[in-house]
């Protein structure tokens, strides 16, 4: 029986570890679904008026509605993989009817339209608060001379545009800048691969079990 001890131990431990990883991914799947549900609830909730001091912890993704006029000051964030394709996200400084100046992500502008003048028509904006995490350690620094950025970074953008550090992503407007295609906030860009990971771990557990049984059978036949 000693000759079976190690293959049985290897099979049990290996299968147990792989099954536990699969169960962990199922738990992560439920957790991620809960997060996505919270985000979707915030996005679709009734719009509120622009609050005095919105915070990320309380109002991330929350719908907000206000009247504003673009100032003409804007930054262009080079973006790809959006529903509007590759182009520049236009982060515009706007002045609200209450006299506040904040930033609005008006949508994506084609690369060839970069030199086009902004539309300064007053508009009613319906959008969602966002504190994006586009910037990573490998993100290049912005080209300030050309006004080209490579990630939405609220604090330095607000400083560059001389606005409050508030970013609203446009969902609907009473008037649209003809250069732009709005790209509203949604959950499509948030990955949820935990189901695939769970299936992979469970399949590996099945393969490990079969291989362990095969090894035990070979040892038994060798003895015969």
**What tens digit of pLDDT does each residue of 35-49 get?**
888 888 888 889 999
CA distances from 167 to 4, 12, 131, 135, 213 (A): 64, 53, 7, 15, 59
- Quickly count: other Cβ atoms within 10 Å of residue 137's Cβ: 4
Distance between CA atoms of 90 and 76, rounded to whole angstroms? 5
According to the model, what pLDDT value does residue 204 have? Answer: 93
Instruction: For the chain, list residues with pLDDT below 70.
Output: 1, 3-4, 189, 223-224
**Among residues 49, 99, 113, which one has the least CA distance to residue 69?**
99
According to the model, what pLDDT value does residue 102 have? Answer: 97
Residue 219, classified by CB atoms within 10 Å of its CB into exposed (0-12), middle (13-18) or buried (19+), is middle
Q: Mind listing the pLDDT tens digit for each residue in 101-131? A: 999 999 999 999 888 999 999 999 999 999 9
């Amino acid at each position: 029986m000693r000759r079976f001890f190690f293959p049985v131990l290897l099979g049990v431990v290996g299968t147990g570890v792989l099954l536990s990883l699969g169960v962990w991914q199922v738990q992560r799947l439920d957790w991620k679904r809960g997060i996505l549900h919270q985000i979707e609830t915030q996005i679709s909730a009734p719009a509120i008026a622009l609050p005095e001091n919105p915070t990320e912890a309380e109002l991330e993704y929350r719908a907000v509605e206000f009247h504003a006029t673009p100032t003409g000051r804007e930054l262009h964030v080079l973006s790809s993989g959006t529903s509007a394709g590759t182009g520049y996200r236009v982060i515009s400084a706007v002045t609200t009817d209450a006299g506040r100046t904040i930033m609005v992500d008006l949508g994506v502008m084609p690369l060839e339209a970069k030199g086009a003048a902004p539309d300064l028509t007053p508009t009613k904006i319906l959008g969602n608060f966002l504190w994006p995490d586009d910037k990573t350690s490998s993100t290049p620094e912005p080209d300030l001379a050309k006004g080209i950025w490579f990630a939405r970074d609220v604090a330095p953008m607000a400083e560059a545009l001389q606005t409050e550090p508030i970013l609203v992503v446009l969902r609907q407007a009473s008037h649209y800048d003809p250069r732009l295609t709005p790209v509203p906030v949604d959950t499509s860009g948030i990955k949820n691969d935990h189901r695939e990971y769970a299936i992979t771990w469970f399949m590996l557990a099945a393969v490990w079990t079969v291989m362990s049984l095969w090894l035990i059978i070979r040892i038994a036949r060798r003895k015969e």
